[in-house]
Structure 1
Amino acid sequence: MSIAKIAALVVAGMLMSSCSAIMAANQPGRVNLEVLSEGSDQSLVRAELGSPVSSDKDAQGFDIEIFQFTQGYSGLNRVARIWWHLGADLVTWGLWDQVGSAIESRYSGTKMNAVVTYDEQQKVKSVRLQDIQGNVIPVKRKSEE
């Protein structure tokens, strides 16, 4: 077997076992926060965010649901990260993976809570987004980005 074939096999093996690239590929995607707009139907919210972790009624009798989810990254962002890790692994003969894996485990999306209040017709009346520590996060619409 020629040295070129051996080198190609070694490089292919490094790239296929690249943990940081696999971690980047498995990062959560972006949640469409447009469903949290006032007037959106409850079924759309549940379809995007999944089942609520809690359901209750407020003092006025309106339904309140609390959702927990991870706001991840766009597809383009994930693809760029995958290619960056693969390229860095190739250039450093796999040494980058030690750093890249730590980076990917640290930047794995933002865990969030959405407290959604519905009106009588089960349409979104109000929304409060919070991070896991309870800090309020302003809701950004596509038109504001």
Structure 2
Amino acid sequence: MMYKHLAGFLFAALLFFSSGCSVFMAIDQPDKKNVDLFRVGTPRSVLLGEFGAPAVSETRSGRKYEIFKFVQGYSTGAKAGRALVHGAADVATFGLWEVVGTPAEAIFSGDEMAYEVSYDQDNKIDEVTTLKE
């Protein structure tokens, strides 16, 4: 009899502490980046503002080359919508949705992307190469 109560308590505690993980994971997904900035004529300062410091920066034959690596995430609306769906599914299934929702959020956590750019003498992009899309 005591084992039944202990098992029930442990199950309830597990449900309580795991409930909502997918909701928070959806909200914490990476933000969507403006990859349209990777075009000829974009100033280097604009790239740095959107993507941060490049992963690689080097000079070859007098030209500056940089590689930007990042995870392409989701818009604020998409993240909020996903969190809302996870929350509703959690309530409807008494928390059992987390068995599906948490691994799904771990899998759909954005796409790794990489671009190599070179600059002209005015520090504006003059060439873009997509390395990973």
Q: TM-score, normalised by structure 2?
A: 0.82
Residue deviations 1:81-111, cap 9 Å, x none? 0011001101100000111000000000011
Query: Which structure 2 residues correspond to residues 77-96 of structure 1 after superposition, within 5 A?
Result: 77-96=78-97
2:61 counterpart of 1:63 = no
Query: Which structure 2 residues correspond to residues 102-141 of structure 1 after superposition, within 5 A?
Result: 102-131=103-132, 137=133
Q: Match of 2:126, SS? A: strand
- 1:23 is matched with 25
Q: How many pairs are equivalent?
A: 120
Residue deviations 1:9-58, cap 9 Å, x none? x9xx95x9400000000000111123222111111111111111111123
Q: Report percent identity of matched pairs.
A: 35
Q: Which amino acid aligns with 2:40?
A: E
Q: Which amino acid aligns with 1:30?
A: K
Q: Which amino acid aligns with 1:123?
A: K
8 A contact 2:21–2:102 mirrored in 1: yes
Structure-2 separation of matches of 1:58 and 1:100:
47
Structure-2 separation of matches of 1:78 and 1:129:
26
Q: Which amino acid aligns with 1:51?
A: A
Q: Higher relative contact order by CA 8 Å / sep ≥ 6: 1 or 2?
A: 2
Q: TM-score, normalised by structure 1?
A: 0.76
Q: Which amino acid aligns with 2:59?
A: K
What runs of 5+ residues in structure 1 fail to find an aligned partner?
1-9, 132-136, 138-145
- 2:37 is matched with 35
Structure-2 separation of matches of 1:108 and 1:57:
33
Q: Match of 1:95, SS? A: coil
Q: Match of 1:77, SS? A: helix
The structure 1 segments of at least 4 consecutive aligned residues displaced by more than 4 Å after TM superposition are none
Structure-2 separation of matches of 1:92 and 1:25:
20
Cα RMSD (Å) of the superposition? 2.1
8 A contact 2:119–2:127 mirrored in 1: yes
Residue 130 of structure 1 deviates from its aligned partner by 2.7
- 2:76 is matched with 75
